């Protein structure tokens, strides 16, 4: 049974007309409240991943559980459908189990807090917030073991649980949860910060309802949802063809020596409805790269892309979900069957965004973006410091952002646009660690009329013995370029031991033993290029060279010849561009750097890593439907 909402005030909410000025005030007040949730969290949390890197996602929803403002919709209806119990004023829920909340969160490191917002006994809406915990227990520090085969190896699983019941803290349950984590002080502080963020949203909603009245406030939220729906309806009608489009990409490997894994999707329009069908995606992995990509979440990801493409001023909310239909076969990488491991699902999440970018551009290549979302690189380091105290780091590295029709991709940025980098000085102040290098890698972004963003080289020098884990992708397949743009450079990892020995590392590895003065070199991928590189203005290429974003040799990819004095040789440039134009073949809409078989054949020579084995799948997941 779905959840039952208990209200002591059963007077109905009436739908009333909303003045445009009132609507604008309420919209901006809610947006401010959503950012105030962030501010409270950042000032209260302890872990660098949340406080400094901002790996968290807030939302405020209406009475029906539809997100009106926020970053990540679709939480609450998934939760309500999964929770079998009563919900009272003062209740605050916690869960981190994807399988118990219909994929509202997608791995157990994300702790989701949900709170009903009441006013005088009447439900007015919901607030919700989740953040990535540095540790949730499990077999590996950081709770994201690449070699896990079941979710039970990835830390404590919390089903939807009342962490506060009618306003009272359930302290015994909290103690039980924290007892299973390696960083209980951080987890408790981060959890209470999430609760505080949800509560400040409740305060602001009550203030708005007091000012405008319950009926007008709730009607305004419905109007904001309807406005976004109409905007999205127009985007779908005008931008999505009825002809079926198909796109595929790959997760490079599973951390256990097998790969690549195909993600496939078809897209078309039926009337005013957008259809996304992931038939053709590989079966679920026996490792932890599976991504529980709930249908509602896929609508959210697609909606974000369409809004940013059409008009970023459109308020992103859940109002348009009935305009999309998502089909994800069960037992696949994107809809795995419990107890499949999920902790390293970020690679699938990121690759889905690349696939969606390719799909939306297939029908209109002029609006196609290159690949570059691609992964969320993780570096984890743990051990005991000189005082015998346990330390632990979860650090998200940044890569190159894809070039787009609007311009160059950003150099060294995060998978999510609101993420920020953690300063080297801060990391060095709290951990036995020194950052020897933190710099953009020239030439790693794909060449194009618009250049792809460059990746980042970070060198972590460990100052205490301990263990390191690395989670990344795009070491095998290139982030592809579009409309003549070139593919970007891939990621790579290696370690230089204190004795000078150098060892190439895979992009996914756990519990790597490190000693004092070992240096781990973490090089991330770039973003693909957009458009013909030979059409990039010479002045832009020269600026890139002078700013160390492109080397003098790299400038020749654009047909630009730059001398030792960092000036352009115009005659040589004209001749080189003419020669390159004659020598090249037809301009490709998508340039992947070769087909997948060619890339696999070249794997060892180009990467220093052996070609992965073809994936083998559990026999029972191939007997679909399950």
pLDDT for 453-477, tens place per residue?
A: 999 999 999 999 999 999 999 999 9
pLDDT at 315: 86
pLDDT at 144: 93
pLDDT at 114: 95
pLDDT at 106: 87
User: Virtual CA dihedral for 403, 405, 408, 411, nearest 10 degrees?
Assistant: -40
Cα–Cα distance for residue pair 536/543, rounded to 1 Å? 12
Beta carbons within 10 angstroms of residue 439's beta carbon: 12
Cα–Cα distance for residue pair 382/41, rounded to 1 Å? 25
pLDDT at 619: 65
pLDDT at 330: 92
pLDDT at 117: 97
Per-residue pLDDT tens over the stretch 216-242: 999 999 999 999 999 999 989 988 889
Angstrom CA distances, 313 to 223, 310, 414, 582, stand at 16, 9, 22, 43
Compute CA 221 distance to the chain's CA centroid, rounded to the nearest angstrom: 27
pLDDT at 497: 98
Here the tokens at position 304 are 């974000």
pLDDT at 392: 95
pLDDT at 417: 67
Cα–Cα distance for residue pair 432/382, rounded to 1 Å? 10
Of 78, 137, 126, the residue nearest 105 (C-alpha): 78
Peptide linkage before 576 cis (omega within 30 of 0)? no
Cα–Cα distance for residue pair 413/396, rounded to 1 Å? 10
pLDDT at 79: 81
- Which portions of the chain are predicted below pLDDT 50? 625-626
Cα–Cα distance for residue pair 544/526, rounded to 1 Å? 15
Cα–Cα distance for residue pair 155/184, rounded to 1 Å? 13
pLDDT at 361: 84
């Amino acid at each position: 049974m779905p959840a039952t909402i208990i209200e002591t005030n059963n007077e109905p909410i009436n739908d009333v007309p909303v003045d445009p000025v009132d609507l604008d005030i309420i919209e901006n007040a809610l947006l401010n409240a959503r950012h105030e949730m962030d501010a409270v969290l950042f000032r209260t949390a302890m872990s660098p991943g949340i406080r400094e890197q901002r790996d968290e996602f807030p939302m405020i929803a209406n009475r029906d559980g539809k997100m009106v403002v926020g970053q990540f919709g679709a939480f609450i209806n998934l939760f309500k459908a999964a929770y079998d119990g009563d919900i009272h004023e003062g209740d605050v829920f916690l869960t981190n189990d994807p399988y118990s909340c219909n994929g509202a969160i997608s791995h157990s490191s994300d702790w989701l807090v949900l709170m009903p917002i009441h006013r005088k006994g009447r439900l007015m809406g919901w607030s919700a917030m989740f953040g990535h915990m540095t540790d949730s227990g499990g077999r590996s520090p950081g709770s994201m073991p690449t070699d896990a085969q079941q979710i039970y190896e990835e830390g404590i699983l919390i089903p939807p649980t009342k962490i506060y019941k009618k306003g009272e803290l359930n302290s015994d349950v909290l103690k039980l949860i924290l007892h299973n984590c390696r960083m209980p002080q951080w987890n408790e502080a981060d959890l209470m910060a999430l609760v505080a963020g949800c509560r400040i949203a409740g305060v602001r909603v009550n203030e708005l309802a007091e000012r405008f009245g319950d009926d007008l406030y709730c009607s305004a939220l419905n109007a904001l949802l309807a406005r976004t729906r109409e905007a999205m309806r127009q985007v779908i009608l005008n931008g999505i063809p009825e002809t079926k489009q198909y796109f595929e990409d790959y997760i490079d490997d599973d951390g256990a020596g097998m790969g690549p894994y195909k993600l496939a999707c078809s897209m078309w329009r039926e009337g005013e409805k957008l259809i996304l069908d992931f038939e053709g995606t590989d079966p679920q992995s026996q490792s932890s790269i599976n991504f529980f990509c709930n249908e509602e979440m896929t609508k959210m990801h697609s909606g974000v892309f369409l809004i940013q493409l059409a008009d970023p001023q459109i308020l992103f909310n859940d109002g348009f979900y009935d305009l999309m239909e998502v089909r994800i076969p069960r037992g696949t990488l994107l809809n795995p069957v419990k107890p499949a491991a999920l902790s390293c699902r970020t690679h699938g999440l990121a690759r889905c965004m690349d696939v969606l970018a390719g799909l939306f551009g297939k029908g209109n290549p002029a609006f196609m973006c290159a690949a570059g979302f691609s992964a969320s690189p993780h570096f984890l380091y743990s051990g005991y410091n000189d005082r015998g105290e346990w330390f632990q780091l979860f650090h998200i590295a940044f890569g190159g952002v894809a070039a787009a029709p609007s311009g160059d991709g950003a150099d060294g940025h995060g998978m999510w646009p609101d993420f920020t980098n953690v300063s080297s000085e801060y990391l060095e102040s709290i951990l036995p660690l020194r950052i020897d290098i933190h710099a953009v890698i020239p030439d790693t972004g794909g060449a194009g009329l618009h250049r792809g963003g460059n990746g980042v080289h970070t060198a972590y020098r460990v100052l205490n013995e301990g263990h390191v884990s690395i989670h990344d992708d795009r070491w095998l397949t290139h982030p592809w370029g579009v409309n003549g743009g070139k593919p970007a450079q891939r990621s790579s990892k290696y370690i230089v031991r204190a004795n000078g020995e150098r060892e190439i590392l895979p992009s996914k590895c756990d519990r790597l033993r490190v000693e004092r003065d070992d240096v781990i070199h973490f090089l991330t991928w770039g973003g693909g290029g957009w458009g013909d590189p030979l059409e990039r203005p010479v002045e832009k290429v020269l600026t890139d060279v002078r700013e160390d974003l492109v080397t003098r040799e790299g400038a020749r990819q654009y047909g630009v010849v730059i001398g030792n004095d960092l000036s352009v040789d115009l005659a040589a440039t004209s001749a080189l561009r003419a020669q390159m134009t004659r020598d090249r073949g037809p301009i490709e809409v998508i340039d992947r750097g070769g087909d997948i078989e060619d890339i696999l054949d070249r794997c060892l020579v180009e990467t220093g890593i052996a070609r992965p084995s073809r994936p083998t799948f559990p026999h029972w997941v191939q007997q679909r439907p399950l």
